[in-house]
Amino acid sequence: MNHSHDHSHHDNHEHPAPRGDGRPLRLGIGGPVGSGKTSLVAELCTALRNELSVAVVTNDIFTSEDAEALRRENVLPAERIAAVETGCCPHTAIRDDIAANLDAVEAIERRIGDVELTLVESGGDNLTALFSQGLVDRQIFVLDTAGGDDVPRKGGPGVALADLLVINKVDLAPHVGADVERMISDATERRDGPVVATSVRSPGGIEPIANWVRREVLDWTLSGDSSPGGR
């Protein structure tokens, strides 16, 4: 683990109330099926749990598999992980009909009380799935290096508009003949925001993402910005 702090876990200790008017930063994690969203959430929780109070809401169509995987991995105390079974297209549940997700987010934030960062993992979908700004304040879009190195060039709202674009599984590039440099330059051409190419499951691979999240949480709490989509 890479954190510099060495506090005990959140299940044992009280946290100072968040600053600003208190609502946690809600961060959506979207991207195609299997690109590494749950892995990113798991590694992010592990990297940040000793410095921030974190909660997670996962989306699956018919099951709560992702939430169960996160609980099995012990990335957070079980009560900090909730599942929404959307029963419909994943993009609908995060973009158009967000009530179930918003309920789950508000319920877990209320129950835990001191949450500073709420992660919402979207069900795996296609390149068009973007979160509603009524549900999350910031969003990360996760692409799979092994999913084809022409994907960033094809663009789409996730690639263009997410606050952070992650090109994940670069460790697989040599095995699938993917040109990571080209993926980065194609992606950079299609967006204004940052691009990170990494392998979240490799040692230290989550750190560039964790650093971006740390800055976003700090900005959020300092500005007290709790307006939907305030950026």
> Which DSSP helix (H) or strand (E) runs through 228?
none
Cα-based angle 102, 39, 23 (whole degrees, multiple of 5) = 30
With respect to ligand GTP, which residue has the nearer C-beta, 35 or 132? 35
The closest of 67, 87, 84 to 76, measured between CA atoms, is 67
Is-contact 177 165, C-beta < 8 A?
no
The closest of 195, 193, 202 to 173, measured between CA atoms, is 202
CB of 14 to Mg ion, least distance (A): 31
Which residues from 188-207 bind ligand GTP, rule CB under 6 A? 199-202
CB of 35 to ligand GTP, least distance (A): 5
The count of residues interacting with ligand GTP (CB under 6 A) is 17
Query: Which of 10, 25, 39, 187 is the binder for ligand GTP (CB under 6 A)?
Result: 39
Which residues from 28-67 bind Mg ion, rule CB under 5 A? 37-38, 66
What residue has token string 């877990």?
108
CB of 17 to Mg ion, least distance (A): 31
CB of 230 to ligand GTP, least distance (A): 27
Task: Count the alpha carbons within 13 Å of 188 in the hemisphere toward its beta carbon.
Answer: 10
For ligand GTP, the binding residues (CB under 6 A) are 33-39, 66, 124, 168-169, 171-172, 199-202
